[in-house]
Chains A and B, each alone.
Chain A
Amino acid sequence: IAGITQAPTSQILAAGRRMTLRCTQDMRHNAMYWYRQDLGLGLRLIHYSNTAGTTGKGEVPDGYSVSRANTDDFPLTLASAVPSQTSVYFCASAPGQGLYEQFFGPGTRLTVL
């Protein structure tokens, strides 16, 4: 079934630890995105990639890094997790940079203690 998968589904992490959230899509979409969702704040863009090999910063990029080595994968790394990074993380993709809808993964619930 075509779509976006994210792993893990949920994770509890000690502060200071490194963590990589995985995102894979099989729709051959060029653009991919990482959002975090916090209560009362909606979804905020962390990083994006318009095409393989390129990445850009979103609204809240500090403490996060991404890479886009190929079309399908877009991992998000927290180099040294802090409690304020406790959130639900969504990966999304879109066919291109145009005014397309974005397709979302199921999300990863991350708790940093």
Chain B
Amino acid sequence: AQKITQTQPGMFVQEKEAVTLDCTYDTSDQSYGLFWYKQPSSGEMIFLIYQGSYDEQNATEGRYSLNFQKARKSANLVISASQLGDSAMYFCAIRGSARQLTFGSGTQLTVLP
């Protein structure tokens, strides 16, 4: 079984500041992938970033980076230079040997002007 825990139901950040969204995971698989998705108020699920368990470097995609600490089983999402359009729900997810995504409960991010 695999599990994702997102302990921050809601977060606020000032525009242009950086913000870290926490994600911890639990899995017995040796090979797995960690994903972050964004869900704006319009409802669609938007893929942001992926980190493989064997990747030695942290993944980055533009303003998004994933702070992967394997020993701590954490995969925090860092958004640099926040923009108003970043206000959304953010989901962390894990995919292991079962090849199915398990999602966390999400963090609602609000970017303040």
Are B35 and A101 in contact, CB atoms less than 8 angstroms apart?
A: yes
Q: B63 at interface (Cβ–Cβ under 8 A)?
A: no
Q: A31 at interface (Cβ–Cβ under 8 A)?
A: yes
A45 and B44 contact, Cβ closer than 8 Å, known pairs A99-B52, A101-B35, A101-B50? no
Q: Which of A43, A50, A101, A107 makes the CB contact (< 8 A) with B99? A: A50
Q: A53 at interface (Cβ–Cβ under 8 A)?
A: no
Interface size on B (CB < 8 Å)?
Answer: 23
A45 and B104 contact, Cβ closer than 8 Å, known pairs A99-B32, A104-B44? no
A5 to B66, CA, bound (A): 30
A98 to B99, CA, bound (A): 7
- The minimal Cβ–Cβ distance linking A87 to chain B, given in whole angstroms, is 12
- Residues of A contacting B76 with CB < 8 Å? none
A99 to B104, CA, bound (A): 18
Are B45 and A104 in contact, CB atoms less than 8 angstroms apart?
A: yes
- The minimal Cβ–Cβ distance linking B60 to chain A, given in whole angstroms, is 16
- Residues of A contacting B37 with CB < 8 Å? 104
Are A42 and B106 in contact, CB atoms less than 8 angstroms apart?
A: yes
Residues in chain B within 8 A of chain A (CB atoms): 4, 31-33, 35, 37, 43-45, 47, 50, 52, 91, 93, 95, 99-106
Could you give 19 example pairs across A and B, Cβ below 8 Å?
A: A31-B99, A35-B103, A41-B105, A42-B104, A42-B105, A43-B101, A43-B103, A45-B101, A45-B102, A48-B100, A50-B99, A58-B100, A97-B99, A99-B31, A99-B33, A101-B47, A104-B37, A104-B44, A106-B44
Nearest first, the 9 A-B pairs at minimum CB distance are A99-B33, A104-B45, A42-B103, A97-B99, A43-B103, A42-B105, A101-B47, A107-B43, A42-B106
